[in-house]
Amino acid sequence: MEVIKTFIEGVVIIEPRLFKDGRGYFFESFNQKEFEEKVCKTTFVQDNESKSSYGVIRGLHFQKPPFAQSKLVRVVKGAVLDIAVDIRKSSLTFGQHVAVELTEDTHRQLFIPKGFAHGFSVLSEEVVFQYKCDNFYAPQCEGAIAWDDPDLGIDWKIPVHKVLLGEKDRKHPILKDVNLTFDFD
């Protein structure tokens, strides 16, 4: 696997080695040893999958300590614009974001460490999205930021009149109104 650094420390794009022939393709989607050598030491404890249609925006979600999560995300079918927003108070890139298109054709993955809000917009007719988490989901530690926070300046690549949101994602505060009285390791 090739690891591509982004401008925000810790957020990396992972490009797998793809082996194609007349039968189709094969690639190793995760290898613990190689991941620890090239990215960081972590143990994933939960795998999640979602299915969504064009225009859906999920996010921007995070979990507060002690249940903060790092995530390794990828698309199995379709395409998304994946977003990671730095919410580490002490970070030089606080409030900035990385946006990466993940598709079934490239098989790229994005690693998002603890201390980031995460979300994605669905660019294809349908998407199947998978992610590994290094901590268990804890509803009492949920946090979120408004997807359309003007200070973040995120272009979700979806016309506003086509955006589809879940009930919870319609009500999140903007970053400057989020109570970040904690920091991430």
Question: Looking at the domain assignment, is residue 184 inside a domain?
Answer: no
Q: Which of the following is catalytic: 61, 107, 118, 172?
A: 61
Question: Looking at the domain assignment, is residue 107 inside a domain?
Answer: yes
Q: Domain limits at 134?
A: 2-177
Residue 78 has pLDDT above 90, yes or no: yes
Please give the tally of structural domains in the chain: 1
* pLDDT tens-digit map of 89-105: 989 999 999 999 999 99
Sort 101 into a burial class: Cβ within 10 Å, 0-12 / 13-18 / 19+: middle
Residue 11 CA to residue 110 CA, distance in Å, equals: 7
Q: Taking a C-beta distance cutoff of 8 angstroms, is the pair 91, 160 a contact?
A: no
Question: Looking at the domain assignment, is residue 185 inside a domain?
Answer: no
SS3 annotation, the chain:
CEEEECCCCCCEEEECCCEEECCEEECCCCCHHHHHHHCCCCCCCEEEEEEEECCEEEEEEEECCCCCCCEEEEEEECEEEEEEEECCCCCCCCCCEEEEEEECCCCCEEEECCCEEEEEEECCCEEEEEEEECCCCCHHHEEECCCCCCCCCCCCCCCHHHCECCCHHHCCCCHHHCCCCCCCC
Q: Which of the following is catalytic: 107, 118, 131, 172?
A: 131
Question: Looking at the domain assignment, is residue 142 inside a domain?
Answer: yes
Say which CATH number the domain at 37 has.
2.60.120.10
Question: Looking at the domain assignment, is residue 161 inside a domain?
Answer: yes
Least confident of 70-74, 131-135, 155-159, 179-183: 179-183
Question: Looking at the domain assignment, is residue 97 inside a domain?
Answer: yes
- Phi and psi at residue 68, to the nearest 5°: -55, 150
Question: Looking at the domain assignment, is residue 30 inside a domain?
Answer: yes
Question: Looking at the domain assignment, is residue 87 inside a domain?
Answer: yes
* pLDDT tens-digit map of 3-21: 999 999 999 999 999 999 9
Q: Is position 54 annotated as part of the catalytic site?
A: no
Give the mean pLDDT of 15-29: 92
Q: Is position 137 annotated as part of the catalytic site?
A: no
Give the mean pLDDT of 49-71: 96
What is the DSSP pairing of strand 12-15 with strand 142-144?
unpaired
pTM over 0.75: yes
Residue 126 CA to residue 102 CA, distance in Å, equals: 13
- CA angle at residue 147 from 142 to 151, to 5 degrees? 110
Position 185 confidence tier, pLDDT thresholds 50, 70, 90: low
* pLDDT tens-digit map of 103-143: 999 999 999 999 999 999 999 999 999 999 999 999 999 99
